[in-house]
Structure 1
C-alpha cells in the first residue's frame, strides 16, 4: 500500500481537506479519518482491509495499491503543485462537434453574465483627478519587422527624460482601448466586453492593469500613477518611493536611473468571474507576457531601449501601488528609456574583464 503522491493537505477546522491536485478531487476528513491517515503516512503497511476507514481512503484514491510515477521535477514542490494542479481542465462533456460546442459555450456565457461583472476599470478604487495624456502619435519607425529585430534587453540607461507624448503613445499602444477598433463591432460580444487592446486577452476580459513609476518624464512629476485605458489618462496614487528603484526590484541597482517603468498587475476577480478553474491562473501570466512584449516593441519603435524583470518583493509593490486586497496582484515590471545599448551594466563588464573597481 502507498500514499498517493499527488496529495496536498489543507488544515480547515474542525478537520482537514485532502486535495488530489492531479485529479482535481477534494475530500474532507474528520479527526478519526485524519488520525488514521497520519498513521498510514507514517507506515503504509498498517493498512487493514477490515478497517472501513482504510478501505474508504483507498476507494477515494488517497491510498493506492500501485506505484504512481511522478515526473522528474527540478523545482520545488510548490511549483510542481501549481503546474500539475492547473493541467487538464475538468470537463464533464467534451463537445463532439461545432454545434455542441456553440450551445455549451453559450450556456456557460449566459451563466456568467447572470452575475455582475467586476468593475471594468480601476475607477471604483482610484477616484483622484485625472491627467489627460497627449493623443498617441505614430512611432518614428512603425515597421514591425524592424522593431522585432531592434528590440533588446539593456541594463545601462542614461537617465535622460522621456517626452510626455511618447509616454502617451506607449501606453495607448500597450494598454489603451483602441479607438480605431470601436467600429469593429460584433453582435456576439457581450456588452462591457467589447473594448479591444492591441494584445490578446483571455475571454476579452482585459484582466491586466498598468501602473507607471515615473522618475524622469517631461511635464510629469515623479511618482506612481495608475493608467486609465478608457480615458487615456493617468492619476497620481503615490509619491515616489523613498528608496532606490533597485531596492524594489531584487537589488538590480543598474536600473536606478530608469526614467519610466510599468508594473503590470492582474485582476484575478475578472478571471474568477468567467473562468472558475485554476487553469485561468496561467492565463493571467500569459496576458502579462503579451502586454510586456507589446510594450517593448512600442518603446523600441519610439526610439527607446527596454528592460524587464519579475524579481520584486510583492508586499513592497502592493504597498507602492496601494493594492489593498488579494483581487489584484503584481506580476511583472518592464521599463524603457534612452540607453547606450549595452546588454550589461559597466560594473558587470568590468568584473568580466578583470578590471578593478
Structure 2
C-alpha cells in the first residue's frame, strides 16, 4: 500500500483537511482518521483491509494500491503544489466544436454578469483630485509606436500560410539569443549567463523556452518543433495534435486554422539552480508575460494578428511537447496569422445577434 504523493494536509480545527491537489478533491478527517492516517504514513504496510477507516482512505484515493510517480521537481514543494494544483481547468464538458464553445462561453458570461459586481476598496476620487497627464508622444522608432497601437487580440483567422522567414524573425526576436551589446565589455556577467534576449529574464537565467506549433508554414512540414535559441534552429519533436488544436486549447475551436503558435514553457530546475526560494516561481510567469508581449509586437510589425491563451489541457500538452514527468512545464500559448481583424469569432457574433433579436 502507498500514500498518494499529491496530498496537501491543512489543519482546520477541529478537523484536518486532506486535499488531493492533482485531482481537486478534499476530505475532512476527524481525530480518529487523523491518528490512523499518521500511522499509515509512518508505515503503509500497516494497512488492514478489515479496518473501515483504512478502506475509506483507500476509496478516497488518499491511499493507493499502486505507487504513483511524482515529477522530479527539485526541492521546492510549495511551487509544485501550486503548479500541479492549478493544472487542467475543471470543465464538465469540453466543447467539441466552435458552436458549443460559443454557447458555453456566452452562458458563463451571462452567469457572471448576473451576479453583483465586487465593490472596490479604493476610495472614489473627485475629478478635481485627478492629475491629467500629457498625451503620449511618438517614440523615436515609429515602427514600435505603430505596433503598440495596432496590436490586437483576434479570434478569426483566414488560415493563410506564413513564411519561414516570418517564423525565423518571430522566434529570433522573441526567444533567440541576441549579439553582445556594443561597448558592453565592462558589464560583469557570470559564466553561463552570457546569453541575452530582447525581453528581461529573472536573474538572466532565460528559464523560459519555446515550442513551435506549425500548421501552415511555407517550407516547413506541419508539426511540433523545439526552438534552440543558441543555434536559432528548430528540431521536430512531434506531429500535429489530434484532434483539432481547439480541443487542446480549452475547446476554443475558432483557432483551429491558426497557421502557427508557440507554447512557452518554463525550466523550473533552472530557476531552482539559482534561486532556492518559492518566490522564484513567480518569475517564470513574469518572464512568460514579457516573451508573449514581445512576440505580439513582432508579429504585429510583420502585419500579422495575434491571439493568446493560458487555457489548455496540461497533460495533453506535456505529452505533445515530450515533457511528461519533467521539471519543464508549459505555461502559455501565443499564436499569429492573417486575420480579418475581428476580436470575436463569427459563431459568437451570430449567437449574440440571435440572442439580441
TM-score normalized with structure 2 length: 0.61
Q: Is the 8 A contact 1:265 1:329 kept in 2?
A: yes
Q: Counterpart in 2 of 1:308? A: 308
DSSP-derived class of the 2:218 partner: coil
Rounded to whole Å, the distance in 2 between the matches of 1:319 and 1:310 is 17
User: After the TM superposition, which residues 218-297 of structure 1 pair with which residues of structure 2 at under 5 Å, given as runs?
Assistant: 218-297=218-297
Q: Counterpart in 2 of 1:179? A: 179
Residue deviations 1:185-241 (CA, integer Å, cap 9, x gap): 445211110111000000000000000000000000000000000000000111111
Q: Is the 8 A contact 1:176 1:229 kept in 2?
A: yes
Q: Counterpart in 1 of 2:340? A: 340
Q: Counterpart in 2 of 1:217? A: 217
Q: Counterpart in 1 of 2:145? A: 145
Rounded to whole Å, the distance in 2 between the matches of 1:255 and 1:154 is 10
Rounded to whole Å, the distance in 2 between the matches of 1:248 and 1:10 is 33
Rounded to whole Å, the distance in 2 between the matches of 1:183 and 1:214 is 38
The alpha carbon displacement at 1:319 in A equals 0.4
DSSP-derived class of the 1:257 partner: coil
Q: Counterpart in 2 of 1:326? A: 326
The alpha carbon displacement at 1:154 in A equals 0.1
- Per mean C-alpha deviation after superposition, the further-off stretch among 240-249 and 181-190 is 181-190
DSSP-derived class of the 2:211 partner: strand
Residue deviations 1:174-194 (CA, integer Å, cap 9, x gap): 000012538634452111101
The alpha carbon displacement at 1:245 in A equals 0.3
DSSP-derived class of the 1:171 partner: helix
Rounded to whole Å, the distance in 2 between the matches of 1:271 and 1:182 is 28
User: After the TM superposition, which residues 21-170 of structure 1 pair with which residues of structure 2 at under 5 Å, given as runs?
Assistant: 35=35, 143-170=143-170
Q: Counterpart in 1 of 2:189? A: 189
Unmatched 5+ stretches in structure 1: 1-7, 19-30, 39-77, 84-140
Rounded to whole Å, the distance in 2 between the matches of 1:213 and 1:348 is 25
Q: Is the 8 A contact 1:181 1:196 kept in 2?
A: no
Distance 1:145 1:251, change over 3 A: same
Unmatched 5+ stretches in structure 2: 1-7, 19-30, 39-77, 84-140
Distance 1:318 1:183, change over 3 A: farther
Rounded to whole Å, the distance in 2 between the matches of 1:262 and 1:182 is 30
Residue deviations 1:272-325 (CA, integer Å, cap 9, x gap): 011111101111000000000000000000100000000001100000000133
Rounded to whole Å, the distance in 2 between the matches of 1:154 and 1:182 is 38
TM-score normalized with structure 1 length: 0.61
The alpha carbon displacement at 1:338 in A equals 0.3
The alpha carbon displacement at 1:161 in A equals 0.2
Q: Counterpart in 1 of 2:207? A: 207
The alpha carbon displacement at 1:10 in A equals 7.4
